[in-house]
């Protein structure tokens, strides 16, 4: 490459489909990060190159590559989105606490190495963790797994989503010091009231159906089972699977809402974007659940119940809850866009998607 030509993303990182150039309004001072991390982590005395993982819609995630060639060392930096954030969300301290311990008992959890609370470095708290390589499946099944035409591969993807969640819910939180990461008593009620309050703070145009579903959730709460560790945002694109096996999970990401509480809340969150073939998908987290071979929603819930040993008869309530929660999340994202706190044009249609999910939540009520 001629010396007067700028280095491209491909020059820095090769062909990595998860990476993009850092968005202009989401850049940080790379010199300050270099200075802060030098000597704190192995390999950080080498030159730093930065790329951005472009798939997420909330926390900002960057690749830090120190050096080049066989001697290069990679880390992942995570920070909250730019601008004000909802209370209790995008919590880097919580994510660091979870990931600095969870890897010992739950192998798909990447290990977190460092938490920085000095806002002079990037403007917020941030953590640095290991990089896990795998295939992240989003709206479409990638070609490496048959592009949606391989029913056996599709079934494996659906099964690993459920089975890995069961594995997480089977972790003994006390054995790794995470039993106090949340308050399990009254968890479900706090969740319902908390998400209703978040909607009130983020709404840009009143949706009467949203308030109606919120009231229904409060009036029809089932009794929760024994508490477990929760991810709190369980979905396919927060997981990576092995390149040679769509049925083997190699990583689970986005632990900033990790807590302890009602395990069916995780299942309900997952079911919010698990659409059957006779339904239309809504929102940015639509999974390829309508491909041939993928478990139906009812089959997925039944598999969770069978493998976990928990009575899943109250699952329809949690599907309503998870769909309502997902609608509020999209409304929060749109609110940041409407307020000019982000210029990411992917967020322009979030209000309409949120409205559609509120309608879907209402329709899921048994």
Tens digit of each residue's pLDDT (9 = 90 or more) over 264-290: 999 999 999 999 998 888 877 689 999
Which pLDDT value is given to residue 87?
62
Q: Mean pLDDT, the chain, as a whole number?
A: 92
Does domain 143-364 match CATH 3.30.930.10?
no
Any residues with CB less than 8 A from the CB of 106 and at least 6 apart, and which?
A: 167, 168, 171, 252
pLDDT in tens, 117-145: 999 999 999 999 999 999 999 999 999 99
pLDDT in tens, 4-16: 555 677 656 766 7
Does domain 9-130 match CATH 1.10.8?
no
* Least confidently predicted of 50-64, 144-158, 267-281, 333-347: 333-347
Tell me: pLDDT of 2 over 60.
no
Strand segments (E) across the chain? 19-20, 48-53, 60-66, 73-79, 112-116, 126-130, 228-230, 239-242, 245-252, 259-261
Between 261 and 13, whose confidence is greater? 261
Report the alpha-carbon distance of residue 54 to residue 17 in Å, rounded.
Answer: 9
Top mean pLDDT of 7-11, 311-315, 342-346 is at: 311-315
Angle of helix 208-219 relative to helix 350-364, nearest 10 degrees, comes to: 40
Residue 96: which of 107, 109, 106, 105 has the closest Cα?
A: 109
For 253, how many CA atoms within 13 A lie in the half-sphere containing its CB? 26
Which pLDDT value is given to residue 211?
93
Domain definitions of the chain by residue range: 9-130, 143-364
Tell me: pLDDT of 291 over 80.
yes
Which pLDDT value is given to residue 363?
94
Which pLDDT value is given to residue 353?
87
Handedness of CA 342, 345, 348, 349 (dihedral sign): negative
3-state secondary structure of 63: strand
Name the band, by pLDDT with cuts 50, 70 and 90, for residue 54: confident
Report the alpha-carbon distance of residue 99 to residue 256 in Å, rounded.
Answer: 9
Total-model pTM: 0.90
Q: Are 63 and 83 in contact (CB under 8 A)?
A: no
For the chain, first and last CA: distance in Å? 63
Name the band, by pLDDT with cuts 50, 70 and 90, for residue 324: very high
Which pLDDT value is given to residue 286?
82
Top mean pLDDT of 56-70, 169-183, 343-357 is at: 169-183
Which pLDDT value is given to residue 127?
98
pLDDT in tens, 236-257: 999 999 999 999 999 999 999 9
pLDDT in tens, 66-113: 999 888 999 999 999 886 665 656 799 999 999 999 999 999 999 999
Which pLDDT value is given to residue 6?
59
If you compute the radius of gyration of the chain from its CA atoms, what whole number of angstroms results? 20
pLDDT in tens, 139-197: 999 999 999 999 999 999 999 999 999 999 999 999 999 999 999 999 999 999 999 99
Tell me: pLDDT of 222 over 70.
yes
Q: Are 322 and 265 in contact (CB under 8 A)?
A: yes
Q: Are 180 and 173 in contact (CB under 8 A)?
A: no
């Amino acid at each position: 490459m001629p010396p007067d030509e700028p280095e491209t993303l491909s020059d820095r990182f090769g062909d990595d489909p998860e990476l993009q150039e850092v968005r202009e309004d989401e850049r940080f001072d790379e010199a300050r990060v270099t200075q802060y991390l030098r000597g704190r982590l192995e390999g950080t005395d080498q030159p730093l190159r930065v790329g951005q993982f472009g798939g997420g819609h909330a926390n900002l995630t960057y690749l830090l590559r120190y050096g080049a060639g066989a001697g290069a060392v990679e880390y992942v930096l995570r920070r909250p989105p730019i601008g004000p954030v909802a209370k209790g969300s995008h919590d880097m301290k919580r994510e660091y606490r979870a990931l600095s311990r969870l890897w010992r008992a739950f192998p798909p959890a990447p290990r977190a190495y460092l938490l920085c609370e000095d806002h002079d470095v990037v403007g917020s708290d941030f953590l640095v963790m290991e990089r896990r390589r795998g295939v992240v499946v989003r709206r479409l099944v990638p070609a490496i797994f048959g592009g949606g035409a391989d029913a056996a591969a599709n079934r494996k993807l659906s099964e690993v989503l459920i089975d890995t969640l069961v594995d997480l819910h089977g972790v003994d939180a006390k054995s790794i010091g995470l039993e106090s990461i949340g308050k399990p008593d009254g968890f479900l009620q706090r969740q319902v009231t908390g998400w209703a309050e978040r909607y009130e703070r983020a709404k840009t145009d009143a949706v009467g159906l949203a308030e109606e579903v919120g009231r229904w959730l409060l009036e029809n709460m089932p009794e929760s089972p024994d508490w477990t560790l929760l991810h709190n945002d369980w979905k396919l694109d927060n997981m990576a699977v092995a390149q040679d096996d769509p049925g083997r999970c190699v990583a689970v990401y986005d632990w900033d809402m990790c807590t302890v509480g009602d395990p069916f809340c995780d299942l309900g969150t997952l079911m919010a974007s698990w659409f059957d073939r006779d339904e239309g998908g809504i929102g940015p987290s639509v999974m390829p659940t309508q491909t041939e071979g993928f478990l139906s929603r009812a089959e997925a819930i039944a598999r969770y119940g069978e493998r976990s040993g928990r009575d899943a008869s109250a699952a329809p309530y949690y599907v309503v809850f998870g769909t309502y929660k997902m609608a509020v999340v999209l409304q929060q994202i749109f609110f940041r866009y409407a307020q000019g706190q982000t210029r990411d044009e992917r967020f322009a249609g979030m209000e309409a998607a949120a409205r559609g999910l509120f309608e879907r939540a209402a329709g899921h009520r048994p």
